Amino acid sequence: MTTPALEAQGISKRWPRTGAVLEDCSLRVERRTVHALIGSSGSGKSTLLRCLALLDPPDSGSIRVDGVLAAGEGAVAADPNLRRSIGVVFQEPSLFTHLTALANVALAPHRVLGLDPGDAHERARRALDRVHALHLGDRHPEALSGGERQRVAMARALAMEPTVLLCDEPTSALDPMLTREVMAVLRDLALDAGTTMVVVSHDMEFVTAAADSFDFLHAGRIRISGSVDRLGTRGVDDELDRFLQRS
């Protein structure tokens, strides 16, 4: 069996005040596949994603990136080398307001990877092109629409050429028009054979069309997982049926 791009074992996370949000979650994301995390609001999807992104440490359990232990007992705390191999697109684009779109994308390749400005820009242009935003390069974040910002944020993550790209409901803050625009880009990325992605999404149409596998979270636990084909058949799980009915 090949080493998975991302593997989580028994992740639990509780917040001091609100209590448990994740309990014993395990998942496995194979290379060059798209994995969807689905579930209703408050089911723990975003928390799981933040753990996978190494932004919040899990209370227990372990995370391996490309087979290397990144979180859990015995892991080097917050190793930047490992973190940069995981790209993240958040619900809010969070672009750096003092830089143009191109510089937003080129900053990390230049400062973190140490590429010289010419190479960093070349990489940034390629990444912008992948999200159909090359023409926005010299714009300021203030001069971009919500959808354009989110596309630039995707390019910013892609420019680091991460092992795996995590997307946390990148359309949740957008209106339907802009949602379509961003979903189209996300779909292109997902269908691109080389990409390994974990996507948190409500959009079942997108999930069935673009994802290979899924985990269904309910109340902090992974209830059902497997190939997206399973989403076509009802009656496997009541909660999943209820969720699919609502969305």
CB of 2 to another protein, least distance (A): 25
Rounded Cα–Cα distance for residues 56 and 176 (Å)? 31
Interaction of residue 102 with another protein, rule CB under 8 A? yes
Task: Using the minimum distance from each CB to another protein, give the nearer residue, 136 or 204.
Answer: 136
Rounded Cα–Cα distance for residues 11 and 84 (Å)? 21
**Which of 35, 45, 64, 121 is the binder for another protein (CB under 8 A)?**
121
**Which of 14, 31, 125, 140 is the binder for another protein (CB under 8 A)?**
140
Closest-CA residue to 83 (of 95, 101, 99, 66): 66
Interaction of residue 119 with another protein, rule CB under 8 A? no
Rounded Cα–Cα distance for residues 174 and 196 (Å)? 24
Task: Using the minimum distance from each CB to another protein, give the nearer residue, 30 or 92.
Answer: 92
CB of 239 to another protein, least distance (A): 30
Question: What residues contact residue 96 under an 8 Å CB cut-off, 6+ apart?
Answer: 103, 104, 107, 141
Number of CB atoms found within 10 A of residue 114's CB: 9
**Residue pair 52/162 in contact by the 8 Å Cβ criterion:** no
**Which of 34, 51, 71, 103 is the binder for another protein (CB under 8 A)?**
103
Task: Using the minimum distance from each CB to another protein, give the nearer residue, 52 or 207.
Answer: 52
Kindly write out the interface string for residues 147-166 of this chain, putting x where it contacts another protein by CB under 8 A and - elsewhere.
------x--xx--x------
Task: Using the minimum distance from each CB to another protein, give the nearer residue, 81 or 227.
Answer: 81
* Total residues in contact with another protein, by rule CB under 8 A: 37
Q: Are strands 86-89 and 19-29 parallel, antiparallel or unpaired?
A: unpaired
Q: In degrees rounded to 5, what are phi and psi of residue 82?
A: -75, -40
Which residues in 41-100 contact another protein (CB under 8 A)?
Answer: 53, 55, 80-81, 83-84, 86-88, 90, 92, 94-100
Interaction of residue 22 with another protein, rule CB under 8 A? no
Structure tokens at 33: 């596949």
Stretch that binds another protein, among 67-75, 111-119, 212-220, 224-232 (CB under 8 A): 111-119
- Distances in Å between the Cα of 52 and the Cα atoms of 25, 132, 152 are 11, 27, 22
CB of 208 to another protein, least distance (A): 28
Number of CB atoms found within 10 A of residue 100's CB: 18
Closest-CA residue to 157 (of 194, 193, 130): 130
Binding-site ranges for another protein (CB under 8 A): 53, 55, 80-81, 83-84, 86-88, 90, 92, 94-100, 102-103, 106-108, 110-113, 116-117, 120-121, 138, 140, 153, 156-157, 160
